[in-house]
């Protein structure tokens, strides 16, 4: 009798159940994320969270196995979720069409079996690294260039991280790694279709071997198509790297991301001052004509209703200042986020529910 996985099961040491029990989060559903998601779903990973704020554009179609012409304009995560369910009907996908810090909470990162970082900018990678380090989440990062790329497994919570590989100058764009970063993609770089496939295949290979307790390469894989080589370069833990502080003992509270600030206040101890990880907008103002308006939410690019010049947002990290009727999700706080709360002179962490 053959089943979907009977050829896998002929492989010594293959553990299908370890794959079907795993929970995997993929950040970035571009060419690389498509390839990784395809391989993991076909291997029998069934639980995914996909996070990417972008929509499918025509220039994606030459490089992305999961998207079709009819997907143009849809969120990448929605189109990818449909395609994965067609590849493997057992797959369950939770889609997050937001930036990574607004899409996936720290509690979700901590509880994932593995995180795959298929992001296209250094600042977004650093932001994800900072968040993974906060909760000691394990991740594999991949990046492509024209004719190759790199795969960086970070599968030891106390080992080196992506930040360790950067110089202090490179890291300085992110002194506070989880905050105030411009995580928009840098100028797009070209990568040949087989480059994304090669790098994505290595990421998939390391992911399934890790999940099935098989040995995987320790170090950064550097893939060079002109030489036909994949070289493993050791990763070194930089004692100066600032990304190694972590959250311990987060207290679970009965407040979700769809609840209001008032409900959050009521659930926290007296005189708590909860903080957002990313600045939230409290008002907008125009430096040209003086227009001003209170507008709580995510900072957005908008133009002045009076003179059409760009409005400047005023932001804060202090959630005590937010009116009680505003919902946490309106401020970009994701499901199962862990919030830092100042109580007098000390700090405590509180974890939101689903
Ligand atoms: Zn580091
Ligand atoms: Zn104005």
The mean per-residue pLDDT over the stretch 24-30 comes to: 98
Q: What is the number of the ligand closest to the CA of 164?
A: 1
Going from the Cα of 262 to the center of ligand 1, the distance in angstroms, rounded, reads: 37
Going from the Cα of 315 to the center of ligand 2, the distance in angstroms, rounded, reads: 18
Going from the Cα of 113 to the center of ligand 1, the distance in angstroms, rounded, reads: 20
How crowded is the C-beta side of 47, counted as CA atoms within 13 Å?
Answer: 14
pTM to 2 decimals? 0.93
Q: What are the structure tokens assigned to 330, written together?
A: 């309106």
Going from the Cα of 220 to the center of ligand 1, the distance in angstroms, rounded, reads: 14
The answer to which of 79-88, 169-178, 228-237, 263-272 has the lowest mean pLDDT is 169-178
Rounded to 5 degrees, what angle do the CA atoms 276, 281, 285 make? 155
In this structure, which residues have their CB less than 5 angstroms from ion ligand 1? 161, 163-164, 241, 243
Cα 141 to Cα 115: distance, rounded to the nearest angstrom? 8
pLDDT tens figures, 105-135: 999 999 999 999 999 888 899 999 999 999 9
> What was the pLDDT predicted at 186?
57
Give me the CATH topology for the region 8-233: Rossmann fold (3.40.50)
Question: Which residues belong to CATH 3.40.50.720 in the chain?
Answer: 8-233
Going from the Cα of 293 to the center of ligand 2, the distance in angstroms, rounded, reads: 11
Which of the 8 DSSP states describes residue 237? -
Going from the Cα of 159 to the center of ligand 1, the distance in angstroms, rounded, reads: 8
Q: What are the structure tokens assigned to 33, written together?
A: 């994320």
Q: What is the number of the ligand closest to the CA of 171?
A: 1
> What was the pLDDT predicted at 38?
98
Q: What is the number of the ligand closest to the CA of 285?
A: 2
Cα 317 to Cα 75: distance, rounded to the nearest angstrom? 29
Going from the Cα of 161 to the center of ligand 1, the distance in angstroms, rounded, reads: 4
The mean per-residue pLDDT over the stretch 97-105 comes to: 96
262: pLDDT strictly greater than 80: yes
Going from the Cα of 160 to the center of ligand 1, the distance in angstroms, rounded, reads: 5
Alpha-carbon distance values, 233 to 118, 141, 219, 221 (Å)? 20, 14, 5, 6
Going from the Cα of 284 to the center of ligand 2, the distance in angstroms, rounded, reads: 10
């Amino acid at each position: 009798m053959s089943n979907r996985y009977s050829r896998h099961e002929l492989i010594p040491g293959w553990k299908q159940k370890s794959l079907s029990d795993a929970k995997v989060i993929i950040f970035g559903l571009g060419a690389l994320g498509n390839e990784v998601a395809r391989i993991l779903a076909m291997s029998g990973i069934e639980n995914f969270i996909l996070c990417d704020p972008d929509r499918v554009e025509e220039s994606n179609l030459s490089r992305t196995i999961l998207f079709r012409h009819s997907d143009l304009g849809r969120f990448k995560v929605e189109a990818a979720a449909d395609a994965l369910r067609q590849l493997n009907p057992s797959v369950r996908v939770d889609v997050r069409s937001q930036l990574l810090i607004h899409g996936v909470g720290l509690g979700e990162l901590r509880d994932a079996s593995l995180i795959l970082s298929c992001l296209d900018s250094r600042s977004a990678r650093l932001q994800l690294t900072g968040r993974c380090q906060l909760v000691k989440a394990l991740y594999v990062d991949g990046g492509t260039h024209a004719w190759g790329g790199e795969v960086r497994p970070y599968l030891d919570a106390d080992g080196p991280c992506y930040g360790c590989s950067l110089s202090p100058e490179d890291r300085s764009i992110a002194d506070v790694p989880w905050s105030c970063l411009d995580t928009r993609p840098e100028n797009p770089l070209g990568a040949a279709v087989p480059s994304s496939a090669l790098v994505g295949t290595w990421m998939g290979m390391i992911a399934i071997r890790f999940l099935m307790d098989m040995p995987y390469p320790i170090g950064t894989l550097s893939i060079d198509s002109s030489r036909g080589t994949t070289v493993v370069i050791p990763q070194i833990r930089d004692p100066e790297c600032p990304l190694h502080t972590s959250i311990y003992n987060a207290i679970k509270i009965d407040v979700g991301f769809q609840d209001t600030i008032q409900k959050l206040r009521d659930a926290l101890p007296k005189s708590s001052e909860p903080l957002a990880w990313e600045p939230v907008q409290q008002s907008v103002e125009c430096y040209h004509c003086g227009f001003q308006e209170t507008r709580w939410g995510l900072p957005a690019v908008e133009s002045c209703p009076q003179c059409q010049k760009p409005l400047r947002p005023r932001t804060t990290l202090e959630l005590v200042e937010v009116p009680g009727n505003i919902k946490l999700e309106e401020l970009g706080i994701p499901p199962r986020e862990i919030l830092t709360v100042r109580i007098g002179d000390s700090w405590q962490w509180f974890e939101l529910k689903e």
